[in-house]
Amino acid sequence: MDLTTLTIDSARAAVQERTTTAYALAEAHYARIQKEDGQIGAFLTLSKDRALEQADRIDRMAAEGNPLPALGGVPVGIKDVMSTCGVRTTAGSKILNKYIPPYDCTAVARLEAAGAVILGKTNCDEFAMGSSNENSGFHPVRNPRDLSRVPGGSSGGSAAAVAADMAVAALGSDTGGSIRQPAAFCGVVGLMPTYGRVSRYGLIAFASSLDHIGPLAKTVKDAAIVLRTIAGRDPMDATSTDIPVPDYVAELDKSVRGMKLGVAKEYFGDGLDDDVKQAVESAIDRLKGLGCEIVPISLPHTPYAIPTYYLVATAEASANLARYDGVRYSQRANGVKTLSEMYRRSRDEGFGAEVKRRIMLGTYALSAGYYDAYYLKAQKVRTLLTRDFEEAFRKVDAIVTPTSPTAAFRLGEKSNDPLAMYLADIYTVTADLAGIPGISIPCGETKEKLPIGLQILGKHFDEAAILRVAHAYEQAHKSGH
Amino acid sequence: MLVGDANCRPWLPGTLPRSIVTQPRACRELSSCLPRKQTQTSVRPERSLRGGNILMKVSEKDVAYVADLANLELTAEERAGMLRDLNSILDYVEMLKELDTSDVPPMAQVSDRYGVDESRQGSERFSYATRDDAIEGLRKSLTQDRALENAPDSDGTFFRVPKVIER
């Protein structure tokens, strides 16, 4: 049995039935990381002690014949923007180079309480700001499918770790597409839940009204298992809601026959790569073949999503990142003489170019005289973008789109052009702004054998519907029907 | 009930404190809550992001002023790059001005509108998010040692910083 190609259920079952051990599973994944990650760069920190201790605990449970929890013995990666008690957490930034959190992120605690084995922390764009993982303060991540290309971002390390069988599943975070776009680029499943569905307690904040935690996984079912584990009200995060969490796994096999799927013309315009367009159109045909009704819709404000996003997100980021002042979080410039000099030099040395750019843009947009013209205006357009979806969801149950206009691009291709990089998120930012859930699943390859992602967007708190459509498509795609 | 473990002990399977696996209240119907008013807007055709004349919105002086507000120093080279990038991004976001938003309320938070009890009014809508004002409520406070562990400089009781002198 190849221990690094298992799904969550098959890994857990193998440990439960004693055909392998959680310890062996963890060791097999560490061996794979040892062998592959030198060239991929998906992990920043390994938490081997913590992982093997947990694996031992799971093995004892199995040996005693106790039923294992949902992720018993399953090795997972955690994006390095989520706090892990006693394990270095950098957010991909030099300014947190030596930071060791004194508590766990709720999503991490919930995964571990459900038996998951935390292998380590995955690389990402600094403070989750980027679409290619080239903004990591440490080193870029390379796409396991083609090492000359980016894995997407900002959860590039999580996507690459799952794609290269270095983890069964991983947690990522999505503020403008950072789970779905790397999932598409690396050929894995990535799910962004509804805003408020998963607690962000312990997530290092980028843009608080847009940040989400969600899973990257090898199958839709695995994504559903992880979501079921991490979702639900957490009193430590006031934005997490107490809406009941359905059993997403039980809902997967319900028929999609008769479901109405919207196709928005705004997501198929200029800039969409031909291969991607073709793959997504044939995915839509396949869904039609499964009994879904395809309904043409319009989301007219879509062209305004990127400017709206970059004003809202940077404004919030400029406030959230003010806390990195050289006083509390490990990194301070040497030889500073005054308080003001300490702030400036610590931040100058600690932050990378893109983070500084966004702090500057956000500070400008919030500054006296410009607040109404930029930040307030963007918040109003955010309402219009959300209304677009409200209108659409009166007619349809879910919306299908490409995840990204192109497949994975080459390292360096867009790194000197911030605007070109921002446009990589053009089909994903809308869901973050509206707070609706979205999933990206593989739907074929380009002529160059690069993965293509199909995005399915749903109503607020209706992850069950998009998971069901995604699962039906995945099963049909796998069997070639 | 404590969340987080000050000694970093891993969570035992099935032992997560009840406080972070709180059972939700009964399900409620969620529907959109804004008025159904449709704003008529024309959507611009695709346009080149890089082309066209970029009107300088931000001057070198502005860059210095904003860097000052943001507590960044920035090298001369970084300032030049910032001048170029901010102008190009602000030129791009200019397209938002095409939309008439005079009757549109701003949206600051998704949870203003979704995931709340719509049968309730005002702050009552968010009553699920409140808790008792207890000194050691959901999480045990960090000890002084733990809180100072990541400090670049401390005297064991306080964070230590350079003298505060007016610039």
Task: Report the complex ipTM.
Answer: 0.92
Q: Is the alpha carbon torsion for A33, A81, A108, A246 positive or negative?
A: negative
pLDDT at B16: 56
Instruction: Check A376 against B106: CB less than 8 A apart.
Output: yes
Q: With a cut of 70, say whether residue B19 has pLDDT above it.
A: no
Chain A residues touching residue B46 (CB < 8 angstroms) = 269-271, 303
Tokens (6 digits) for B144: 């002084």
Take residue A418 and report the two structure tokens written for it.
């911030």
- What's the N-to-C CA distance of chain A in angstroms? 28
- The minimal CB distance from A347 to the residues B14, B71, B104 is found for B71
Q: What is the pLDDT of residues A59-81, one digit of tens each?
A: 999 999 999 999 999 999 999 99
Model confidence over A421-449: pLDDT tens digits? 888 899 999 999 999 999 999 999 999 99
Q: Rounded to whole angstroms, how far apart are CA atoms A268 and A360?
A: 33
Per-residue pLDDT, averaged over A35-51, amounts to 98
Residues of A whose CB is below 8 A from B16: 109-110, 113
For A106, the enclosing helix (H) or strand (E) is helix A106-113
Question: The dihedral of CA A285, A286, A291, A295: what is its sign?
Answer: negative
Residues of A in contact with B83 (CB under 8 A): none
Supply the mean pLDDT for chain A: 96
pLDDT in tens, B116-155: 777 777 777 777 777 777 777 777 888 999 999 999 999 9
Total beta-carbon pairs less than 8 A apart between chain A and chain B: 291
Rounded to an integer, the average pLDDT of B90-94 is 93
How many angstroms from the chain centroid is the CA of residue A302?
Answer: 21
B143 touches chain A (CB under 8 A): no
Q: Is B124 on the interface with A (CB under 8 A)?
A: no
C-alpha distances out from residue A388 to A264, A365, A458, B11, B130, Å? 11, 25, 13, 43, 32
Confidence class for position B167, pLDDT limits 50, 70, 90 = low
Task: Quick: pLDDT tens for A249-295.
Answer: 999 999 999 999 999 999 998 889 999 999 999 999 999 999 999 99
Q: What is the pTM of this model?
A: 0.92
Convert the pLDDT of each residue in B23-66 to its tens digit: 333 333 332 222 333 333 333 433 333 334 445 789 999 999 99
pLDDT of residue B33: 27
Positions of A marked catalytic = 79, 154, 178
| B116 and A CB contact within 8 Å | yes
- A463-479 and A220-230 are packed helices; what angle lies between their axes, rounded to 10 degrees? 160
Interface test with B, best of A243, A366, A414 (most B CBs within 10 A): A243
What is the C-alpha end-to-end distance of chain B, expressed in Å? 47
B121 to chain A nearest CA, in Å? 17
Neighbours of A420 (CB within 10 A): 15
Contact by Cβ (8 Å): A130, A421: yes
The residue whose two tokens read 């990127």 is A306
**Residues A226 and A169: beta-carbon distance below 8 Å:** yes
CB atoms within 10 A of CB B76: 7
Would the pLDDT of A127 be above 90? yes
Q: Which chain B residues touch A58 with a CB distance below 8 Å? A: 13
